[in-house]
Amino acid sequence: MARTVIPFGPQHPVLPEPVHLDLVIEDEKVVEARPSIGFIHRGLEKLAEKKDYNEFLFVAERICGICSAIHGQTYCQAVETLMNVSVPPRAVYLRTIWGELSRIHSHLLWLGLMADGMGFENLFMHSWRIRERVLNIIEATTGARVIFGVCKVGGVRRDIEPDAIPGILAELDSIEKDMRDVTKVFLNDKSVKARLCGVGVVSKQEAWDLGAVGPMLRASGVAQDMRTLGYAAFSDIPVVPITRTEGDCYARCAVRCEELFQSVEIIRQAFNRIPPGEIAIKVTGNPAGETITRTEQPRGEVVYHLKANGTKHLQRFRVRTPTFANLPVMLKILPGCDLADVPMIVLTIDPCISCTER
């Protein structure tokens, strides 16, 4: 059988960001996938040597446009660990609330892209219509739509006024209702199922061995969620990881659909328990020491490795983003699939290439 090499990307209708794959095709089956990344490497890790640790927060938040809130939060947590700062409880709750709002908007964005990828334009529009309502809540509380810019070392920059909370909760209820309608289509529609069920199956062992994280790992039956580590307000609000056992594209889609409602529930609980008080404390001095901080982003576990030597610049700032960890799994499941299924498989890892290359 003759082999053909088909380039996939860096520009492709399903790819929001540039990644390139050389697909070796035999008939209609992929036999090998060779990745090539590095189109949008911006050298952000190197930039840590030029910006002081407070200014670098703005860079850390811009590693990625979609998981920005949790990047900012993780960076602050890591620096606070280095400086032995304990953040006021109200700030911790606010960070949790914003983090979960960002998870909802990220998952809705992904669901939309997924629908778009399989040619279900109507569903795509509806996912993004709901996402817009989430973004409105975010803009009203933080002042920006996707790059929140509310975290700072020692706390948060803004407070959510107590009289604004009932309005937000009412809006969330209505968003939840809308999300039920849309996720029902994702989970039950015959054409969606035909496109996703049994495509790109990863077994539990394979996913673990290849270092998969986030929904990718949970869809294969491993109950791993960094929120169970109890960072931020998750020490008071327990999180039970949502898992599926099938390990196919449909399972990954279902995990993300269910996480939407989990996040809504977390936000409700956080608003119920949010303590009054300060939202930030003054931080003086420079960080020193080393820390590895892990949090759960919409796409999975993110690892921040910070080394500081007592100057205002960090000695080393290193981020391992969830997509980077999920790429090996993607390369593992591509061989053997149909060419037409490649876009679906690439999309279900929720590729965030800016994150990956920093």
Nearer to another protein, 58 or 245 (CB): 58
- Provide the minimum distance between the beta carbon of 87 and another protein in the complex, in angstroms, as a whole number: 17
The nearest distance, CB 61 to another protein, in angstroms, is 9
- Fill in the per-residue mask, 96 to 135: x = in contact with another protein (CB under 8 A), - = not in contact: ------------------------x-xx--x--x--x---
> What is d(CA 67, CA 20) in angstroms, rounded to the nearest whole number?
22
Minimum separation from the CB atom of position 302 to another protein (A): 10
Contacts 24+ apart (CB under 8 A), 238-245: 239/266, 242/218, 243/218, 243/219, 244/218, 244/219, 244/220, 245/204, 245/220, 245/221
User: With CB under 8 A as the contact rule, which of the stretches 11-19, 84-92, 95-103, 222-230 interacts with another protein?
Assistant: 222-230
Strand segments (E) across 298-333? 300-309, 314-320
Min CB(276)–another protein separation in Å: 20
Cis peptide before 7 (omega within 30 of 0): no
Interface map 68-87 toward another protein (x if CB under 8 A): -------------x------
Q: Which of 18, 73, 25, 46 is nearest to 296 (CA)?
A: 73
Residue in the block written with tokens 């990047």: 71
Q: Which is nearer to another protein, 12 or 158 (CB)?
A: 158
Give the separation between CA 94 and CA 150, rounded to whole angstroms: 9
Q: Is 55 helix (H, G, I), strand (E, B) or coil?
A: coil
What would the DSSP string read from start to end of 256-287? HHHHHHHHHHHHHHHHHHPPPS-SB----S--
Choice between 228 and 286, CB closer to another protein: 228
151 to 37, 191, 273: CA distances (angstroms)? 31, 42, 20
For β-strands 3-8 and 20-26, DSSP reports them as antiparallel
Q: Which of residues 324-353 bind another protein (CB under 8 A)?
A: 324-325, 327-329, 332
Closer residue to another protein in complex, CB, 331/339:
331
DSSP 338: B
Binding segment (CB under 8 A) for another protein, from list 87-95, 142-150, 167-175, 336-344? 142-150
Binding to another protein (CB under 8 A) within 4-63 occurs at 36-39, 41, 43, 45-46, 49-51, 55, 58-59
Quick one: tokens of 264? 């809504």
Rounded to a whole number of angstroms, the minimum distance from the CB of residue 129 to another protein is: 5
Phi, psi of 184 (to 5 degrees): -55, -40
- Looking at the Cβ atoms of 292 and 340, the one nearer to another protein is 292
Task: Find out whether 71 and 302 touch, Cβ atoms under 8 Å.
Answer: yes
Site string for another protein, 175-214 (x = CB under 8 A): ------xx-xx--xxx-----------------xxxx---
Distances (CA, A) of 336 to 107, 220, 254: 28, 18, 23
Q: Which of 266, 320, 337, 354 binds another protein (CB under 8 A)?
A: 320
Each residue 257-296 as x (binds another protein by CB under 8 A) or -, in order, gives: --------------------------------xxxxxx--
Neighbours of 162 (CB within 10 A): 10
Closest distance of CB 37 from another protein, Å:
7
Distance CA 261, CA 29 (A): 37
- For another protein, give the closer residue by CB, 229 or 338: 229
Residues that bind another protein (CB under 8 A): 36-39, 41, 43, 45-46, 49-51, 55, 58-59, 81, 120, 122-123, 126, 129, 132, 136, 139-141, 143-144, 147, 149, 157-158, 181-182, 184-185, 188-190, 208-211, 224, 226, 228-229, 289-294, 301, 303, 305, 307, 313, 315-316, 318, 320, 324-325, 327-329, 332, 357
